[in-house]
Chains A and B, each alone.
Chain A
Amino acid sequence: MTSPASSSEVKYLIESSEGNTFDVSGAALRQSNTFNAMFLNIGADGPIPFTDYNEATLKKVFEYCEHSVNEENYSGPKHQDDLSKWDLNFFNEMDQKMFIDVINASNFLDIERLTSYCCERIARMLRGKNTQEMIKVITLPTAEELEAKQKVEEKKAAAAKKVAEKAAETAEKTETLEELPVQQLVQTTRNKLTRKYLSFSNE
């Protein structure tokens, strides 16, 4: 089932983050450069794990791949206006969360065509807008969020500093403990030598 082959009829099993598996045709999978680099030549025993992405996202991505199998070879990014009706429907029926998941999966799988269409779609959201309009379109952290984040980071830094200080203290203590017998030894030998020297000089 998952042997290396150039035939488009070969099916590969894909494993999602939920642990579910589903079939994807070899022709569709070959649009992913990541897959080509990892499995095409060596094959895969058992399901291919793409466990960072959920089943819905992976199915959506491979739905696009299956659809674009029959299209002509990809020749650079298309303008959004050049998209077919099917492509537009494909993008329009996604909510924002799914869209972001699809971009992430497409980026990981390195599917050039899908990634470039997604990028074009986002660029279109920003096109022809001034700064204030852009701020409304893209979510930027508010001053309060930034402050809260800064506080958390400060707390983390303080905690890390405390840990480092404790570690340094314990290290110092162990050093002194290790050094003590040596110092004592040196001191006692020094005392002995001075006593001997004194006894010699007295004689």
Chain B
Amino acid sequence: MSSPFHLLRLPRLVLCEIFKSLNIGEKVNLSLCSKKTSAQINNDRLYSQKVNVHLDMANEKIDMISEDFKDWFQIGIHLDKEIDSLTIQSFSIGRCSLPMSKTIKTYWKNLVEGFLCLTRQLLKMFYCNISTDRDCWRSDLFQPIIFELVDLQVEFKRLTIRLKGGLNSTLIFS
């Protein structure tokens, strides 16, 4: 079966079974193939795995970890004014090159837009628990992203907020 396979011609229940057996990264990669594959994966969100989505504004990346911590995936969000649309490339951290399927790098004109767009897409695909890092409030991206996510009424697992004026002014919601 070396010739291309007509995946979207399969019955919906079969597609659902296939999506169930894919891991987080494979689902993200498949959803980026086309609008139709993305829509099919979104349709089967009910049967998807629960994913902890960690927004790391300081390091400009989103980490996704499955509930049982066995599976993970990372999306890098980077600013690139020369690139108009979303492009995906292989991604490596420092000297440690990671497998291609575990990480992707995305380029955006606006980082806030990148974070929000990807988070919205992940919310459509998985059951997401969103969390942020303790020091994320220092980032300029933190406020607009969190405001938007609160408006979307997403479920937060952990959210750290810095209140102005107080001595011990950091609040952690879990």
Given A77, A128, A129, A137, which contacts B4 in the complex, CB threshold below 8 Å?
A137
In contact, A140 and B37 (Cβ under 8 angstroms): yes
Q: Across the A-B interface, how many residue pairs have beta carbons closer than 8 Å?
A: 86
In the complex, A94→B1 CA distance in Å? 8
Given B7, B22, B29, which contacts A131 in the complex, CB threshold below 8 Å?
B29
Produce 1/0 per residue, B79-116, CB < 8 A to A: 00000000010100000000111001000000000000
Chain A residue nearest to B28 in the complex (CB): A131
Produce 1/0 per residue, A127-138, CB < 8 A to B: 111110011111
A119 at the interface (CB under 8 A from B): yes
Known pairs A96-B5, A99-B1, A129-B101; A140 contacts B13 (CB<8 A): no
In the complex, A22→B103 CA distance in Å? 52
A201 at the interface (CB under 8 A from B): no
In contact, B34 and A140 (Cβ under 8 angstroms): yes
- The residues in A between 88 and 107 inclusive whose CB is less than 8 angstroms from any CB of B are 94-96, 99-100, 103-104, 107
Interface residues on B, range: 20 to 34
Known pairs A95-B1, A100-B9, A134-B33; A127 contacts B18 (CB<8 A): no
Complex interface: chain B residues within 8 A of A77 (CB):
21
Known pairs A118-B14, A130-B29; A96 contacts B37 (CB<8 A): no
Complex interface: chain B residues within 8 A of A138 (CB):
4-8, 33, 37
In contact, A129 and B29 (Cβ under 8 angstroms): yes
- The residues in B between 1 and 39 inclusive whose CB is less than 8 angstroms from any CB of A are 1, 3-11, 13-14, 17-18, 21-22, 26, 29-30, 32-34, 36-37
In contact, B14 and A115 (Cβ under 8 angstroms): yes
In contact, A139 and B7 (Cβ under 8 angstroms): yes
A159 at the interface (CB under 8 A from B): no
In contact, B22 and A130 (Cβ under 8 angstroms): no
What would 6 A/B residue contacts be, using CB atoms closer than 8 Å? A96-B1, A104-B11, A118-B14, A122-B5, A129-B101, A139-B5
